[in-house]
Amino acid sequence: MSPALPRGGLRSAAVFALCALFAVLSMGLTLLASGAYRDTAAGAEANYTRRTALSYLVNQVRRSDADGCVYVESFGGGDALVLAEPTGGSSYVTLLYCYDGQLRELYVEEGYPLLPEDGLPVLELQSLRVCAENGLLSFTATAPDGAVSSVSVAPRCRLGGEVDMP
């Protein structure tokens, strides 16, 4: 005959089994929560990139909001927002454009020949579309993950290149 477990041993085994079950369930819950956190953090990062890029562009337009100082042109194979700064005899421009997967900024004297890769990277961005119609600037940003966001701004100034209508 096999010896029977003493009463204290049975209680100890039950307590140990409950502790082990609690530990296994705790680890499972922790792993599940960490996966949800990773997904949320990745979504927030992509949202941050698009929103920051659009906010940056809108604030740059507001900063340079003077007649004829804000206009759109092609640069680096895509759209570029151009912000002119006339200063004592010389005129400087800030070009904001997307090149090589990055939103870039290039500050240069007007007419000085620079290449798109000369701009300073601001943040990662797959593409940027800038459109100026009827006094309204529209920006469409595509994040590295392919998510697209848009914003429009109506500058108080007359956009460069627009003619006054009678």
Q: What is the pLDDT of residues 50-109, one digit of tens each?
A: 788 899 999 999 888 788 788 899 998 899 999 988 777 788 899 999 999 999 999 988
* Entry pTM: 0.70
Residue with tokens 């500050």: 107
In 34-160, the DSSP E strands lie at 70-75, 78-87, 90-99, 102-109, 120-124, 127-133, 136-142, 148-153
Give pLDDT, residue 5: 54
pLDDT band at 151 (very low <50, low <70, confident <90, very high): very high
For residue range 7-60, what is the model confidence (pLDDT) as tens digits? Answer: 667 788 888 899 999 999 999 888 888 888 888 887 777 678 778 889 999 999
Per-residue confidence at 162, pLDDT binned at 50, 70, 90?
Answer: very low
Distance CA 33, CA 27 (A): 10
